[in-house]
Structure 1
């Protein structure tokens, strides 16, 4: 039997997955005391401050990476959709649906990202990718059906969560247009 070495990269990936999984129920709990707009702003303010400090420490100061004018356009769109509209739609959606339903619907981000890349940006999509997307959607549908452990909680909240996924799918495709620049700056 072949052993898999446990590396810091694997630990970082597992930690990121655990934090992402915990973020929706935690945000739902925080929404009892905070407005959705305030919470969305605080989450992204914290992210911006943290990433800014990492950049300053890494670069020993603040330098704006060189980017072509067209790349600034794509980055601006990514900021509007991924940094403003997506988080706001998620927090508003969480006020109108359960954390479990929201967590299931968040799987649509990957599907919508791939669909947009394939249809709008003319990326290649082979059978395996299409099958993977169908399996993600089928799994989410099965888990959200009435009679499953969580039951379906669809409505305006679910539509807002899907809207957040669409915003982040657009963000993912827009940042692809500036991928030659510093990833930490783009984040």
Structure 2
């Protein structure tokens, strides 16, 4: 680790709260992470701004305070990482949320941004969204289960060879939970 930095956290709970500059930074982060081989929702790099913008805009359009939020980590006014947390409206499962697209911009890797983002998420999910647990699915073979494990997440299952990145490169999808 180079050194840890304390990011400023921003929550975005509606489309109107996200400035055009932050939208651009979020998309550029996603492009950089994906093209560096990150497991962030686009398994087949390279991707470009326009491809990612379509998916980002769908997430942004679905933002709502109790259903879907973006959590952004900024350092020195620059987006260093982000994630999306969502809960289902179905009352049977509304007590837990799912974490999507956890990313640290490639220029901020190794500085504790990802861990800080996940720690802040834990507080936000419990204290502000009233969630009791969080779920996520992580790509096997890149050390993500170790990263999340150090933060208190527990592996609850795997879908063996569920992800085919290319012929001969099948990865497990690792299912994880964090009790709040």
Q: Same fold (TM over 0.5)?
A: no
Report which of the two has the higher share of strand: 2
User: Which gives a bigger RCO, structure 1 or 2 (Cα 8 Å, sep 6+)?
Assistant: 1
TM-score, normalising length: structure 1: 0.29
Report which of the two has the higher share of helix: 1
Rg larger in structure? 1
